[in-house]
Chain A
Amino acid sequence: MTFRTTALAIALAGFSFAAHAQTQITGAGSTFAAPIYGKWAEAGATATGVKLNYQAIGSGAGINQINNRTVDFGASDMPVKAEDLTAHKLMQFPTVIGGVDIIVNLPGIKANELKLTGPVLADIYLGKITKWNDPEIAKINAGMKLPSLAIATVHRADGSGTTFVFTDYLSMQSAEWKSKVGSSTSVAWPNGAGGKGSDGVAATVQHIPGGIGYDESAYAEQNHLTTALMMNKAGKFVAPTMAAFVAAAGNADWSKVQNFAIDLNDQPGAASWPIESATFVLLPLDPKDEKQSTAVKKFFDWGFEHGDDIATSLLYIPLPQSVHAAIRTAWKAVPGTM
């Protein structure tokens, strides 16, 4: 190449580099997904040229923000209903999958020793079972010495997608729960104390003997919380391990759902963990600025391509490749390149 063409090539390269100048995107919502989005942003910053500002204010708040178009994308563990998606002109896609653990604080009982079933859990949170040595609990924990402590239920005080996953599971397991309380990011809990954030729930449970709560599995694992075994659909008691989460996710049939709104609770399979969910991202179909939508898609595309290892290291389950492909097709409905 002549000197002139080399210089031109360098100039053009410089120009395209400038064209890749940092675009800043704003996202808000799920605390559950905050760690993975943060890590993806950090790892993929140079490749994508996208800078992410993510506010982990809770799934309900994230949905609200994207409805008001005050952010570029919303993040929610609770899939938005189809009619709401149409009404607010949103498009929804999942990013990763994660499990919800049940944490307990019982003197003398170690991690993954206590066994619980869905109906019993629902009755505990409904206030029908009030002591740990209740016959219903003793029945499934034969041979274990259960203290006669009062059960102190703890829930998320802030509007949380983890609450949605948990209450959705309880609604499946108890008709009384479904009609009396229902499932959402924020519900009218019949009893117990609220903790602010995953930290608040864990701290409250850890401070009170006889406490029980629910938390994201990554969080429970990191902080070595005392988790309980749950009975899954196949009637087996499973521990909240990566293998159990993967087993549950593997059963998911993505072709049967609209808007990727899959419910991963209570999945069949002998090794499946019963309380699990995908986490979703909401994009506007009529964005104010197409460049922003393009940047968001680029960001998640990088995550799908290169971020699986990061996800597993943080105890999330990556989506199958077929779902990634389906998501990329669905993105075409959103204005902007990609």
Chain B
Amino acid sequence: MSVTIMGGGIPGAAKNEAVARSLGRRRHLTNLFVKALCITATVIGLLLLASILATLLWNGLAGLSLNVFVTDTKPPGSHGGLLNAIIGTLIQTALGTVIGTPIGLMVGTYLAEYSRGSQISNVVRFVSDVLLSAPSILIGLFIYQLLVEPMGGFSGIAGSLTLAVIVIPIVVRTTEDMLRLIPATLREAAIGLGAPKWKMITLVCYRAAMDGIVTGVLLAVARIAGETAPLLFTSLGNSSGLGNLATPMASLPVTIYQYAGSAFDDWVQLAWVAALLITVGVLAINVTARLALRGKK
């Protein structure tokens, strides 16, 4: 937006034309300077993203091969792949989502439908936000003390439960936001037709908010797919196969953690491939979810 004033072309009224001109020039230059800084800042942000993606593609594509997807992880030098880690991540992510989403959905419903404005709802909402921002490593510690120690071993179910705890507050947030957006007229119409409250919620509100809720679930999935620290303390990882829910279970992020710092070139290579796979998956989910959400808004 250019700074022009009717008559004179000098910003700012001043009796002394020279002062006015220099003042105007200074303001104009300051404006340009700040604009340049902001564009630089944005370019920096975009360059950082580009750098991360470029690094992943450069290092990860080199190791991408069919072998990665059909072979389990093996000792260094044995042409191992990532099959068990991929499946392990899929299983634990799916299970974490399946366990965490209904709970998050119910809590979001509770906040939006059953306790609006009351003090207890503020507390529950605050607690949910605390859980959302809590360092995930602390959640892993909690499940370790709760489940791993009494069970006497690491397990896929402990890993899945940790991920479920991380999913819950994300789904709570989106569910509540989406349910609040539903116009009161829609609810009143349902009640007016004689529907019990629970049918109103499940058949009308959920259906109306479905897009947004699904988006929230997708964002949660993207978040937990990349979590490492909590899995270190709960499902540990499995180098010889998949494991199952009662034993240590393989996962991509833990495999990356082990392989990236290791001494062997083929392992470091696989770490990059795994990093590429996770990032591509996570970003794809995010872009899809955000596009859907923007359309909804």
Contact = CB atoms under 8 A, between A and B. Distances in A.
Question: Per the CB under 8 Å rule, do A and B touch in the complex?
Answer: yes
Interface of A: 24, 26, 28, 31, 34-35, 38-39, 41-42, 51-56, 68-71, 196-200, 202, 216, 218-219, 222-223, 288
Nearest to B232: A57
Interface stretch (B182-190, B208-216, B236-244): B236-244
B236 A55 contact: yes
Interface stretch (B43-51, B71-79, B93-101, B284-292): B71-79
A3 to B, nearest CB: 40
Contact of B241 (A24, A34, A197): A24
Contacts of B241: 24, 51, 53
Contacts of B239: 38, 53-55
A283 to B, nearest CB: 16
Given A55-B248, A70-B148, A70-B152, A199 B75 contact: no
Most interface-central of B75, B247, B262 (chain A CB within 10 A): B75
Interface of B: 74-78, 148-149, 152-154, 236-241, 243, 247-248, 258, 260-264, 268
A301 B152 CA distance: 27
Contacts of A28: 236
Nearest to A56: B258
Nearest to B155: A70
Given A68-B149, A68-B152, A70-B154, A35 B240 contact: no
B75 A70 contact: no
Contacts of A39: 75, 77-78
A34 B237 CA distance: 15
A42 B236 contact: no
A38 B247 CA distance: 19
A209 to B, nearest CB: 22
Chain A, interface SS category: mixed
Contacts of A52: 240
A53 B248 contact: yes
13 contacts: A24-B247, A26-B247, A31-B262, A39-B77, A41-B240, A51-B240, A68-B152, A69-B153, A70-B153, A197-B263, A199-B261, A199-B268, A222-B263
B236 A216 contact: no
Most interface-central of A39, A55, A56, A288 (chain B CB within 10 A): A55
Contacts of B74: 38, 42
Contacts of A216: 263
A219 B75 contact: no
A217 to B, nearest CB: 11
A26 B75 contact: no
Contacts of B148: 70
A215 B238 CA distance: 25
Nearest to A197: B261
A53 B261 contact: no
Contacts of A51: 240-241
B88 to A, nearest CB: 12
B35 to A, nearest CB: 38
A26 B152 CA distance: 13
Nearest to B149: A68
A198 B263 contact: yes
A288 B153 CA distance: 12
Contacts of B247: 24, 26
B107 to A, nearest CB: 33
B158 to A, nearest CB: 11
A53 B149 contact: no
A32 to B, nearest CB: 10
Contacts of B260: 199
A53 B240 contact: yes
B262 A198 contact: yes
Most interface-central of B154, B239, B261, B263 (chain A CB within 10 A): B263
Nearest to A36: B75
Top 4 A-B pairs ranked by shortest CB distance?
A38-B75, A197-B261, A219-B263, A53-B240
Nearest to B76: A35
B248 A26 contact: yes
Contacts of B262: 31, 56, 197-199
A35 B261 contact: no
Given A42-B74, A55-B237, A222-B263, 10 more contacts: A26-B247, A31-B263, A39-B77, A51-B241, A53-B240, A54-B239, A68-B149, A69-B152, A198-B262, A199-B261
Contacts of B154: 70
Contacts of A288: 152
A24 B241 CA distance: 10
A121 B139 CA distance: 42
Contacts of A218: 263
Contacts of A200: 261
A196 B264 CA distance: 14
A198 B74 CA distance: 19
A301 to B, nearest CB: 19
A197 B264 CA distance: 11
Nearest to B267: A199
A269 to B, nearest CB: 28
Contacts of B149: 68
